[in-house]
Structure 1
């Protein structure tokens, strides 16, 4: 009679532990569980207009604020991954959290209406704001983030930014993404690829063919990490052969980044 009693007690104990475990918040995914896009992965990049999900590619890079959790879920049901576009190096006056960025961190315009470079040295101000944006990306179910304007130190920002300032900030951005189980891409910032390759899971580049810079992205490809690349002004016959030889995921887009695309 004692063996059945002990068995029942053991089963009750296991059930209780299982229930308790279910009540706990999920642990963060280990680094190895993050999505890792591979070189040559086809993609769509759409930041304006109504989201068009008819493009048959495995990766969509879309605006994190403008798209809902339902939109991300719809992409996932089609077997696609979703990248959350978020500006981390420039202030945008139309965003719902724009008022949380004090005037002291807003610098000169970056060439786009309503946008100003940020003083990336002020991590005391920017870290919680970027973290909140990445929390939004995670809550909506995104797989990764594309932090934009990550090369302010090479531009006229209104602040005396150095390469060291940029490295420090970009690594902070990468850590904030990884802490949330999100993959993260290095946007442009070609000169710092050697130092930042280990911190980022993929790269996003604009116009490397036009400026003769595409070979600079080779370290990402050699590391098995995708390079998502677009050109705006060159026809595809001017860059696709090189892009394919280098292992880039390349396409021609228009500057407004609507649904139209012409892939290599």
Structure 2
């Protein structure tokens, strides 16, 4: 079940992105022969998938559902709740990390561990353990669990899915690679498409150019205004980009450059419902 929070995207600049990809290549080259010959997932073409309406009113409700404000046509909500009636609904699943304190709901060997055998946690959000995506067998087992959530999304009437923490490799202490993350996302995109759901790329701007190979249909970008990365997403996804900013400056930058093209909303960091005192929702 989703906790009432959202981790802000830690953007990679061009140099950092290049370094990440070089690290991934070095790790791949140093892998064992058995790892190098692991089968990888192939993306499945989207069939009968409806994309979210571009440049439409957007609300990000993964911290708790509430009646969408006037003008909203696209909503993202957690897979544990119901979609918003009459709107285009994106279903949030935490696909590459556990929910805070939910390690016990995963097989122990699917939790990423360092050389000392200690579980690796997201350094920004206490209690979120990274999942171990280093082998094809583990990626297959992780995908099976996440795909069951995707099945629930489809059964509830969501039109798309948002697999979060695609960029967990960036917080893995160098243990995970971009190739491993992309293999898992292909397993999820193929399943989502088989259920008639579109699937979005969540963050990981440096992987946007591979969106077609990975079977990804649109993007959800946290803080692309704040980190000057909205253009990276639009080059890959056109106007099918949904932006969440968490600061006034980030919103101003996103609106100045992209308000005539993209769906942009500012939310409070914990994406609370309006009943909470710290609720924030602003648009261009």
TM range (shorter): 0.7 to 0.9
- Partners of 1:148 and 1:254 lie apart in 2 by 18
From 173, 179, 185, give the equivalent of 1:170.
185
> Aligned-residue CA RMSD in angstroms?
2.1
Deviations 1:195-241 (A, max 9, x none): 1245111100011121121211122443xx51000111233333311
Tell me which residue corresponds to 1:142. Answer: 158
Contact 1:171–1:196 (CA<8 Å) still a contact in 2?
no
Uncovered stretches (5+) of structure 1, i.e. residues with no partner: 1-29
Query: How far apart are 1:88 and its partner, in Å?
Result: 0.3
Tell me which residue corresponds to 2:110. Answer: 105
Confirm whether residue 209 of structure 1 aligns to residue 233 of structure 2.
no
Taking a change above 3 Å as real, the CA distance of residues 135 and 124 of structure 1, as seen in their structure-2 partners, is: same
Contact 1:41–1:249 (CA<8 Å) still a contact in 2?
yes
Larger Rg over CA atoms: 1
Query: How far apart are 1:158 and its partner, in Å?
Result: 5.2
Deviations 1:70-116 (A, max 9, x none): xx2xx33xx31111111101111456xx5441122223221223211
Greater share of strand residues, 1 or 2?
Answer: 1
User: What does 1:152-231 align with in structure 2 at a 5 Å threshold?
Assistant: 152-155=168-171, 157=172, 160-197=175-212, 199-222=215-238, 226-231=240-245
TM-score (norm 1): 0.76
Query: How far apart are 1:125 and its partner, in Å?
Result: 2.0
Query: How far apart are 1:50 and its partner, in Å?
Result: 4.7
Contact 1:143–1:183 (CA<8 Å) still a contact in 2?
yes
Contact 1:220–1:227 (CA<8 Å) still a contact in 2?
no
- Partners of 1:228 and 1:31 lie apart in 2 by 20
Tell me which residue corresponds to 2:127. Answer: 114
- Partners of 2:96 and 2:243 lie apart in 1 by 20
- Partners of 1:50 and 1:81 lie apart in 2 by 14
Which runs of 4 or more aligned residues in structure 1 lie more than 6 Å from their structure 2 counterparts after TM superposition? Answer: none
- Partners of 1:200 and 1:129 lie apart in 2 by 20
Query: How far apart are 1:188 and its partner, in Å?
Result: 0.4
Tell me which residue corresponds to 2:282. Answer: 262
**2:92 counterpart SS class:** strand
The higher-RCO structure (CA 8 Å, 6+ apart) is 2
Which has the higher mean CA deviation after the structures are superposed, 211-220 or 45-54? 45-54
User: What does 1:241-252 align with in structure 2 at a 5 Å threshold?
Assistant: 241-244=256-259, 247-252=261-266
Uncovered stretches (5+) of structure 2, i.e. residues with no partner: 1-44, 113-119, 274-279
From 77, 83, 89, give the equivalent of 1:82.
89
- Partners of 1:93 and 1:212 lie apart in 2 by 30
Aligned length: 221
Greater share of helix residues, 1 or 2?
Answer: 1
Taking a change above 3 Å as real, the CA distance of residues 133 and 50 of structure 1, as seen in their structure-2 partners, is: closer
**2:259 counterpart SS class:** helix
TM-score (norm 2): 0.71
Which has the higher mean CA deviation after the structures are superposed, 136-145 or 102-111? 102-111
